[in-house]
Structure 1
Amino acid sequence: MASSIQKHTDVTYLEALAEAGENIFQHDIIQNLPDDEKKRLEEKLQQELPEEMKKEQIRKAFQLAVIKGMKEAVQPHHAMTPDAVAMFMGYLVEKLTSKKESLALLDPAAGTVNLLSAVLNQIPKETIAYGTEVDETLLKIAYVLSNLQEHDVELFHQDSIENLASPEADVVVSDLPVGYYPKDDVAESFRLKAEEGHSYLHHLMIEKSMSHLKPGGFFVLLIPNFIFESEEASALHQFIKDEAVILGLLQLPDSMFKSGQFGKSIWLLQKKGPETVQPGQALLAELPSFSNQEALLDMMKQMDKWFKEEGFAP
């Protein structure tokens, strides 16, 4: 359907994918297409759409279509969070918040909400989510993907460094975009602004998100390993020391990345609050390959034990 819309309306594949998602949601072809093509798509919609689809099936189908679309016009910050990593981050959010009755999540770089919805699909309790995205096309896909999965998501079309309009959240979960932030005048008011030149986008996003996290709230962030080695690393370290406690750092297997320099880790932080306690021992681990189920299950057993010992899980 997306390919047909792209062909007949002269839009990009990703824009057409958002339109196709809206058609599925409305159960109708709402674009102005040639009559014979519209009729063909209407028939396909009736014949091929299953009566019932699980949320994860919808998310994965869209994920594959988005990856196809990104081959056309990929931008570095558009890269999709690997599926196994998104699922694992969902597991971590669920463990950290298992004692809470309801939950508010925030992703300040939501993209198509693939990561956010992968997390939401693993949380059994009542949850509302907020997603901020500066790219309008990705936001349109996020909108239809949230609707089709029936998730309670509020989406904001904005630059989350300059203007983060979401309410406070219990958890910030994000695949942190990496690079330089071009608006020096906006960065000027941040503690983590660069001494000279453009500031790091990823540093500013951590600082801004911290201000939208409730006291005692959690960060579950996918970060590049080099974040601790840049020339601004000492300022970030001091900021985190002042504002939060480090709960853990889980290094993803090298086999997931083309080379070591692109390696990433999952960083777990808790914002300081009246009940925040420094963990007896931080959760530090190198994760095994996600295809090695036995080793991964063994690692998760050890993590389950840590969550219980540190009082996060009952």
Structure 2
Amino acid sequence: MRAVQFEEYGPPSVLRIAEVEAPHAGPGEIRVAVRASGISPGETLIRSGAMRGLVPVTLPYRTGFDAAGVVDEVGEGVTGVAVGDEVFGMTAMTARGANADFAVLAAWAPKPAAWSWEEAGGAAGAAETSTRVLDRLAVDAGQTVLVQGAAGGVGTVAVQMAVARGATVIGTASERNHDFLRSLGAEPTTYGAGLAERVRALAPDGVDAVFDCAGGALPDLVAIAGDPARVVTIAPDLTAASHGVHMSHGAPVDDTGAALGVGADPLAVHGLPIAVALAARGRLRVPVAAAFPLAEVAAAHELSEGRHARGKIVLVG
């Protein structure tokens, strides 16, 4: 089968489509014939070498964490899903490799009928991450949440999931994306200098929680929240600890439910069925910024690195 991988750190041009042996579903897993898979901004940093001191990898490294496709193999002990079912989900964090013709999923849910394959292919990671952070921040009805970087792949889903919890959401984005954020249920504002004043004008009673998807503004975000414990970032911001801010990244869990990995949070895989339920009610869509053929993965990474894509970037075919 074809799979995206890189054998050395570097620019998007180091990515290759390799012919590799197809994986098989182990106990508790399923395999899908992939129809679409997501591009992860975190993996663009891994590929570039920017994260080599924090995220050691074994080369060659196969990319891709979330995918959607048709089940063609069911592992031992798996119930509730059958060959031929349409699903979306995530690989094991230690395996990855979803940017391929076939992928083994460790967590999955039925593909909502309302979603295209492109939407479903980029949904699982965003739904899991959004749920993980919103849970940690204990976001609930009646609260006000600031989502920094609200027009990106995770931000667009986080806005909708927070709104579905009954929260009032303020989202930062460039002005060209403000009407788009309003369509998702957020009150938009621009990022950058003067953010605290703009947020105060929109939320005179204060902000209960801050979900940072973008990075680079933690001092302002802490000032807006009034307490670093009320700020969680998913950006790879090495200054987070010095500001008292938790940097959330997912990891597998052991038999006790503890996360495996320094500073890691357990994966919020319960976010997948939540996403399915919201999609069925027309309350969650997965905006797709662009879809590229698998062979054009380098162009997809280039677009992701530009940090201006509105929604998810996915690979198809």
Answer whether TM exceeds 0.5 for this pair: no
TM-score, length-scaled by structure 1: 0.36
- Whichever of the two has the greater Rg, that structure is 1
**How high is the TM-score relative to the length of structure 2?**
0.35
